[in-house]
Amino acid sequence: MNSLTPGGAEGPRRFPDGFVWGVGTSSYQIEGAVNVDGRGPSIWDVFTHAPGTINRGDTGDVACDSYHRLDDDIRLLTELGVGAYRFSVSWSRVLPSGGGAVNQPGLDYYRRLVEALNENGIKPVATVYHWDLPQALEDRGGWGARDTAKRLGELAQVLAEAIGDQVAMWITINEPLQTVRQGYITGTHAPGHRDLTLASAAIHHVLLGHGYALQAIRAQLPDAVIGPTMDPQPFHALDAAAQPAADALDAEYNRVYLDPVFRGVYPADLRADLRPPETLIADGDMALISAPIDFFGLNYYRPHYLRRGDWADLRLGESPVSGHPGVVQYLPPEMPRTVMGWPIVPDGLRDLLIRLHEESGGLPIHITENGCAADDYLTPEGTVEDQERVEFIHGHLGAALEAIDAGVNVAGYFHWSLMDNFEWAEGYRRRFGLHYVDFPSGRRIAKRSAQFYRQVALAGQLPPTPEISFEAAAPEVPQASAAV
């Protein structure tokens, strides 16, 4: 449990022994090298090259060029002093057609990565699926097709065999909510569908993909540490009129993914047009989806607030909530927010951790993503003074400590992200990194927040104020962190 140091309430607050300090990235967002060494196209290659999909027409063709800069990235991680690195595997680099023939050079890249991480005392945390579905599978129905879930199991099996001896923790899928919502409902992410029938099938198949991946890794590696990563979105009703909408959105955004994994059922109050049809749910599917997991991965960025509101006469900070006439989403104009427009509410993280602790029956929870975009820029001195990110981290880690004090088994924190990268539909204009990336040259520069995070990770404690209290930039041998 968290205990205050002799400094009392004003002193630094300690995280539990063994707490995992990490950072995260994902393949399409950082790797580049999209046509190299036998990689096949993914839905993101196709989507980004279609006109009008991405801000300024940006693509992940080059991104941070991490495929060619593996040594640079390992150095960044080592200097950052983190004990774990969450990366994802580009499915079409390993299985260019989605299944079948393995592309050995692609697999070798991940082998080199995980070996280099372990050599440097950094635990590899592998996400099997972080949104970059092979286009070959999209051409055969994508997440609308049951076979795609099976193929995710195949990918997991290939990875378990090839790198399983090196991986400390496995994340089966990242944010099924966004795969379905942005990929199949709003069309803002690849593959860009707007089709509720497909979306309802995708809900089931992406969860089934989690089930098959879990089963494949477990079969190969009985001691593996495996879990899914999700991004439940808190919906708060600010008045009684908005409560039914808050409950409905909680089913549509959150319980539709949580309940199958924790309880093996879809929520009874899920809107009918999104409910996966019974005809798609084969015997044994729900048991596969709800098979025991070792941790829950939580991505947290923001909560939502709902209140009664007149759609024909919207006030400042209000926007209509589709499907719920007379209810608006409300962001108090004075509430601090990031350049994404997302409100900054650390308490939301604490509350979500407590909820998930209860819903999961006390599973360890890793905060697998948390972070903020900011308008970072290089000063003439060549530094990036992102004090708002330092404050964001300080606030959210404080919230995690409060959850720990309330009895939640918060096992780790992975800041999003190691470095600025391709932020999906926003392209490169949204910078989430602890390291600034000068995209024309690919150069990485530690921001002030990297120094702050390094101090916290190495000491395993949160200082009372969001300030850097020792010469964090001075090179030291980073201490190896405890086992994941």
Candidates 248, 227, 131; CA nearest to 184 is 131
3-class DSSP assignment, residue 471: coil
Q: Annotated catalytic, 175?
A: yes
Closest approach, Cβ 190 to ligand FCB, in A, equals: 13
Binding site for ligand FCB (CB under 6 A): 26, 29, 174-175, 178, 231, 299, 369, 416, 423-424, 432
Q: To the nearest whole angstrom, how small is the minimum distance from the Cβ of residue 52 to ligand FCB?
A: 20
Which CB, 402 or 420, lies closer to ligand FCB?
420
Cβ distance to ligand FCB smaller for residue 351 or 369 = 369
Least distance (Å) from ligand FCB to the CB of residue 301?
A: 7
- Cis ω on the peptide bond leading into residue 88 (within 30° of 0)? no
In the numeric block, the tokens 């592309």 are attached to 103
Helix axes 256-263, 196-220, angle to 10 degrees: 30
Catalytic residue among 31, 138, 154, 175: 175
Place of tokens 């991104």: 63
Strands 435-438 and 235-237: unpaired
Rg over CA atoms, the chain: 21
Q: Smallest distance, Å, CB 70 to ligand FCB?
A: 20
Residue with smaller CB distance to ligand FCB, 94 or 173? 173
Report the DSSP beta bridge partners of residue 21.
413
Coil, strand or helix at 156? helix
Instruction: DSSP letter for 429, please.
Output: G
Residue 48: CA count within 13 A, CB half-sphere:
26
Q: How far is the CB of 432 from ligand FCB (least distance, A)?
A: 5
Q: Which of 31, 252, 359, 369 is catalytic?
A: 369
Give the residue with the Cβ less far from ligand FCB, 136 or 418: 418
Instruction: Report the C-alpha dihedral over residues 181, 187, 193, 196, rounded to 10 degrees.
Output: 40
Q: Which is nearer to ligand FCB, 177 or 327 (CB)?
A: 177
Rounded Cα distance between 481 and 461, Å, is 13
Query: Residues with catalytic annotation?
Result: 175, 369
